């Protein structure tokens, strides 16, 4: 039996694979802060969009409520996940026979309060 030492070895050595993995790991660690910032911005945008949608829905409902029942609408806040919706109806403002409707959506994000507000004026029949 003879051993053939002239054949060519193909492939990577374990050392080459380990060095390439370390280089990839170092490059990936540099991208983690960017990924974290992107996730925070996406969450903030999602909450703001949800607050706008919810405030719009509540305002739409208040626009079609019978005017005589409108004064009794103000009350307890509505909770939708992390967002609190408050509705307020002020009678005889800005003029007699009119009501000012205010819908405010509030939420907390990273220790800061955020809000989105809609206002409308309805006239009596």
Q: E strand or H helix at 85, and its extent? A: strand 83-91
Q: What is the 3 state secondary structure string of 37-65?
A: HHHHHHHHHHHHHHHHHHHHHHHHHHHHC
In terms of pTM, does the model score above 0.75?
A: no
Degrees (nearest 5) of the Cα angle 101, 76, 55? Answer: 45
Q: Say if CB 106 and CB 113 are below 8 A apart.
A: yes
Q: What is the pLDDT of residue 1?
A: 54
* Residues 91-115: tens digit of each pLDDT: 888 899 899 999 999 999 999 999 9
Report the C-alpha dihedral over residues 49, 55, 59, 61, rounded to 10 degrees.
90
């Amino acid at each position: 039996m003879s051993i053939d030492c002239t054949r060519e070895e193909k492939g990577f050595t374990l050392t080459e694979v380990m060095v390439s993995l370390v280089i990839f790991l170092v490059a990936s660690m540099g991208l983690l802060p960017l990924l974290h910032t992107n996730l925070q911005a996406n969450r903030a945008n999602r909450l703001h969009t949800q607050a706008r949608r919810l405030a719009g829905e509540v305002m739409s409902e208040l626009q079609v409520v019978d005017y005589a029942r409108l004064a009794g609408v103000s009350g307890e806040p509505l909770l939708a996940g992390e967002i609190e919706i408050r509705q307020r109806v002020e009678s005889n403002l800005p003029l007699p026979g009119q009501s000012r409707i205010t819908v405010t959506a509030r939420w907390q994000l990273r220790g800061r309060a955020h809000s989105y507000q809609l206002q409308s004026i309805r006239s009596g029949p």
